[in-house]
């Protein structure tokens, strides 16, 4: 399975959003990662469907949409209509996760499930064969630019072992504190989708930084 880079726009310049999306279009990045926060499930508010739809107008890469919101079932169709290609929900917010995943896939989107740092991998044993992607938060969700939680490597190993035991191969994605100090180790541990945001947008040469990440993860 190819290693992919999903660029998070949380730290992008929203005053020049079209230019930022064009920068990603012209880079070696594979996906555009959108963090949707409601101020309830996580202590921050980001943006909603209208911004997703605007990004879709300019984007030439798939939209990797991560719902950090309560009651995500109420908004699945809306995010599909706004242009999401991959829709990831949190295990912690879904009472009937199998039904939620099925609904996402019925719309034609790829379906992902995310775990917060404190949530153990074994909660996925009964759902892992139905998902296209598992996203592991490697920081506490809500804000960009946080420090990577080092024991995430053990969690990634457990997830990889679970996938092998079930004979499935969803994308394994990580989000939070990913930079040049840990990208290679993450790739070697089984991660094939890196979400990177602040490390890219705080660099002087984002296109070159993206190229560097792609070299490191392959």
pLDDT of residue 148: 85
pLDDT at 109 over 70: yes
Residue 35 catalytic? yes
Residue 85 catalytic? no
Active-site residue (options: 30, 35, 38, 64): 35
Q: How many domains does the chain have?
A: 1
User: What CATH number is given to the structural domain containing 171?
Assistant: 3.20.20.70
pLDDT at 95 over 80: yes
pLDDT at 58 over 90: yes
Confidence band (pLDDT; 50, 70, 90) for 2?
A: confident
Per-chain mean pLDDT for the chain: 95
pTM for the model? 0.96
Measured at the CA of 68, the angle between CA 65 and CA 74, to 5 degrees, comes to 80
Range of the domain at 202: 4-217
pLDDT of residue 5: 98
pLDDT of residue 140: 84
pLDDT of residue 144: 61
- Give DSSP secondary structure letters for 31-90: EEEEEEEBSSSSS-B---HHHHHHHHHH--S-EEEEEESS-GGGGHHHHHHHT-SEEEEE
pLDDT at 18 over 90: yes
Over residues 104-125, mean pLDDT: 97
Active-site residue (options: 30, 38, 64, 175): 175
Convert the pLDDT of each residue in 132-180 to its tens digit.
Answer: 999 999 988 766 667 888 889 999 999 999 999 999 999 999 999 999 9
Q: What is the DSSP letter of 148?
A: P
Residue closest to 56 by CA, chosen among 9, 106, 108: 9
pLDDT at 1 over 90: no
């Amino acid at each position: 399975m190819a290693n992919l880079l999903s660029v998070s726009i949380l730290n992008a310049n929203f005053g020049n959003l079209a230019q930022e999306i064009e920068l990603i279009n012209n880079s070696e990045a594979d996906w555009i990662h959108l963090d949707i926060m409601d101020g309830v499930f996580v202590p921050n508010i980001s943006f909603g469907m209208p911004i997703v739809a605007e990004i879709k107008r300019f984007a030439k890469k798939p939209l990797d949409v991560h719902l950090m919101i309560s009651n995500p079932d109420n908004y699945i169709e809306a995010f599909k209509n706004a242009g999401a290609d991959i829709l990831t929900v949190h295990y912690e917010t879904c009472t009937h996760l199998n039904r939620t995943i099925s609904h996402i896939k019925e719309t034609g989107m790829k379906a992902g499930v995310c775990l917060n740092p404190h949530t153990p991998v074994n909660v996925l044993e009964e759902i892992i064969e139905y998902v296209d992607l598992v996203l592991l938060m490697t920081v506490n969700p809500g804000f960009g630019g946080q420090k990577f939680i080092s024991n995430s490597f053990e969690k990634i190993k457990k997830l990889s072992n679970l996938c092998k035991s079930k004979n499935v191969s969803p994308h394994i994605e990580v989000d939070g504190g990913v930079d040049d100090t840990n990208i290679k180790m993450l790739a070697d541990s089984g991660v094939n989708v890196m979400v990177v945001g602040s490390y890219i947008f705080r660099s002087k040469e984002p296109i070159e930084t993206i190229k560097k990440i792609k070299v490191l993860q392959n």
